[in-house]
Amino acid sequence: MPECQKLLLSIVELGGYPDFTALYERLGFRVEKQTSMRKVLQFLKKNTPAVIVAEFNFQSDFRDRTSSLESMMAVVQRTPDTRVVVFYDREYAHQLARLTERFPLLLTLRFPIAESDVEGALGKQSA
């Protein structure tokens, strides 16, 4: 793999949608996968991805946050060139809106996620 490839961090905590790794690689990204926010935060201490693709998983048990994405976004906001794409479920759109007010995101994609939507969101990032 060329060293100049941009890094894409794929965070799959719950899943339930297609694995887009082949698409990410076809678009020229080197893909790193993580499955827990704890590991993501450790990864971000040493790496600065060009793009992060994550799921919005609303967690009603958090008193002061909507999801663990807020912890990640607090770190990512220090790297303004990193773009974030968030997959979400329609029933949690209003909770996601609270997150996007605090942390502007590149793009949100609602389930079911189509490969063409992901390609459209990332195609311009890989240029």
Encode pLDDT of 10-51 as tens digits. 999 988 899 999 999 999 999 999 999 999 999 999 999 999
Flag the least confident range among 19-23, 54-58, 75-79, 120-124.
120-124
6 with 27: CB under 8 angstroms? no
- Residue 71 token pair: 């912890």
Whether the bond between 18 and the residue before it is cis, its omega within 30 degrees of 0, is no
CA 58 to chain centre: 14
Closest CA relative to residue 8, chosen from 25, 56, 42: 25
pTM: 0.88
Burial of 117 (0-12, 13-18, 19+ CB in 10 A): middle
